[in-house]
Structure 1
Amino acid sequence: MPPTVLLLDDDTQFRSSVTPALEAFGLRVLSATKGSIARALLEEEEPALLIVDGLLPDINGIVWIECLRGDGINIPVIFVSAFYRDLTTFKHLTVDLDVIKVFHKPVAVERFAREVANAVSAPMSLTPAANGPADDPADRVLFPDQDSEPGVDAEKAKQSYTSLLPIAADNLTGAIRRVHSEVDRTSVVAEALRQAHDLHGAAQTHGFAEISAAVGRIESQLRYLQESGRLDWTTMFESIDEVRVHAAAAVGRSVDTGSTAAAPPSVTPAATFFLHRPVPRDFVPTLLVLEDDPAMIAYLRSALDEVLVHLRPVSTIDEALKIASRNPPTAVLVGWPLEDREALPKFFQMFRSMHGCTEVPVILLSLDDDPHTRALAAQLGVDIFLPHPVELVRLHQAIGTAVERAMTPRPKVAVLRDPDAARQIEEAGIECFLYFSLEELLREIDIQCPDAVLLGSSVAGKQVPAIIRMSAWDSEFALLCFDDSPLAKESEVGEPLVRAAGWLVNLHREAERMARLRRQQLRCSQTGLLARSGAVAALESGLSSAQRNGRTYSLGLLQATGLDGLDHVKARRLRTHLGRLIYGRFRREDVRGRWDGNTFVIGFDGSSARAVVEVVRRLQEDLDAQRTREPEELSFLHAAVGLASYPLDGDTTRSLILAAHERLESAVERESDALV
């Protein structure tokens, strides 16, 4: 009978790729996806070698090996993982647990199979003492991208470990979140303590003293929690902040740990980053209403009942400023006059100085309609003036205009070979990218997605406009030039800009128009999913059909988390990856759409809430498996989910979206992959 190898790994792709290669070397391969299954197989089989993955569904791979050795089972082990690259773990595996090889995924399949076959055929006692000294060449780590197995290069190991520091910090943060939120903390505290212990030792080994010290405090606090049931959360939050900041700094990134203003009153400022995460303003529009008349508040609630907008009424300026500091609203509606007539200038001055509120549209709903009031409104920077009595259709139109204005993306302009024009565009507050060569522009155009491309007058090739149009397959934009350009009469170019007659205004108007059109397009060019307007129409139709035929209808909102702080190109690539995963993982009859920014929407006709939860869980498991296979590319991508269903959560699309949105907020605050 050929030698038997037990392959313990839940990654289907890895098992399917290495199993044929191992069998080609004459090995019999048994597979297990969980640690418990592997232990059951060991009761029936006597494998010559174990191949163990680091991350398993039911147990950590290292812990599984520790249990194995603790039970006196000394079968040779090869350890395979995309993580655990630090020296402390390597020494623990090879010295303490007698692991004979450590491989880092992805592996070269043929070489991996050959090394496994050599390990099986090599004369080897199953007692630890006979396996040779710990520094034997067989105990060295295997780097798949090198021709031979080198000894451990401390500097290279540190560089490899440094790239994984933010991941380790995020994992520890998630574990602490679970400690904070779970009622039964026994198991989650043990897991958090294990992660803290690993990170503490590894950071110390590689010279990250600040991280090691902060994690040491976390470890001490967790041990105290185990013993006494109490915890100093202020120290814990400060230590977590410190770990994240230093881990981000180690890889050259910044991290936003929140601010005092953003913290809910029941938590310390240092807890901000994981107990409160602002919802993007263009997700579900939020209308902040400052009005001290209860009757007017009641009217607005009734009038806006069928409008897809969050209404946040407050009666005092302090309340309004507190809410705005926490989550900048999409638009603001102010009732005038307030009891304190001096309050309005004070509110505008403080509101406009807040982060994210500088350009938020403001509607003034005024009982007074005289020239003095209108002049005051204009002086304060009011965007829309509504005098009483106001018709319902006028109110809806004003709010729609304000929301549309706030949600229209800031236009971006690419300029080819005209530094002076680029300088003026930037001075006008328009985002601008200057390129000095056509090749550079073509490389960047599908990454930056400009709304307008301005060709400098020195650009003379008549084929240039056609080349740009042909190359930008993922973008729609206005192609413009000046009236003195040799390309002014080309059919691919829009109406020329007149240098002497307000060209900046015309450029901005054209770029804004294209940004608005892109927003209104039927499908998202990045993912192939329905755009927001198309998704809403499809959801309305699906819900209506379900109601007519007596079926249930479920709606899910998925938000890509972990993208904060990433550069534009990587964040866009990860959003696209999640969108295409959503596109391919659900049924053709399900509604699949790009809601806005990092958020996607899915509608399930005829599916129960329980069935939808299972489907979404499988999507999250797929994403987790992909992160394991491609840690460098996908390590920051997670998906939080909020679900709602008809008839339990309402009988309109609006009510379902708002219910799902509220649960998504809870999911994002809870952890990166939460489902609520």
Structure 2
Amino acid sequence: MNEAKTLLFLEDDKDLQTLVCAFLREKGFRVESARTAAEARTLLAKMPVDAAIVDGLLPGVTGADFIRELRKTQPELPVLFASAFWKDLKSHELLTRQLRVARIIHKPYRPEELFLWVNQLFTKALPPPPPGPRALADVDLVRDELAASLVALNQEYGARLKDKVGGLETLLGDARAGKRDALEEATIVVHKLHGTAGSYGFTEVSLSAGRLEDVLRSAKDAARMDWGQVDATFRELARAASVPVKPVGKPAPAAMLPTEGVLLVVDEDAHVLAEAERLGKAHVVRVLPARTANEAVAVASKQWVDGVLIHMHLGGEMGGIQAAHQLRSVEGLGSLPLGFMEGE
């Protein structure tokens, strides 16, 4: 299915490029990488590609702006758009309807997930015939080689994490001292950590970096920054980065399925949330859990969700109605589809 398919991978983070390109090439794709819009333009002028994977935040230009430019010459090219955060529903409408993006992918993503989304772009109506015993043996060999390659990349990235965090600490110190452009540089570094560390399997580092990014973006300049909160979230990130992740020698992950939607479920009962996540996996729906209205607002403000299911009596009698009003009052969430549930 993926024979002779050439992909443009436009991503400015070199670490993520290394990981994703290695994985997709092992899967049989030809991958042409670019770190800037200018590099991508040069590449596209030299060769045709069958699909493009575009990051949402590029040096000097947004991914959406690049896709808008791309559509002038290649209106039908399949495009996947990757982003570590979501702005609002209008942004989603712009990408999917006006710019005809095939799929918006939330970062951090795993290479296996991206492979599934890319494969879907080229899925044929009729499945290929089942492979014979010899073909299956070849697949096992390739899988072993790929696993070893990914383990090596994981170890290499993990070994450099402390240096990355150390460099970030220096930038934050410069920003606090009033050095020009240091805050912007620090925000870019932590944004990349948020998106890339999770792709390498360093989940806690990614989550901590995401929280620090939120703090840094909350102030317009260093003079208005809550440096006490910056220090606290940075220490959390530093602790997460100091914990090594031990890659297994031969991982055998469960088969990953692409999701057909994202559902935010809001309920105080942890068992209900766990069951919702289980059912979501069974029905190929990504379930995002939240236990309070404030948690739900935080989740829905940070990434795209297709709908929300709220317990009618969240936090008290008819508390779900209040939670719904709280969600709908957030800018960009006024048209968010809502549903309610009752029961013990």
Q: TM-score range by the shorter chain?
A: 0.3 to 0.5
* Pair member with larger Rg: 1
Q: TM-score, normalised by structure 2?
A: 0.42
Q: TM-score, normalised by structure 1?
A: 0.23
Highest relative contact order (Cα 8 Å, sep 6+), 1 or 2?
2
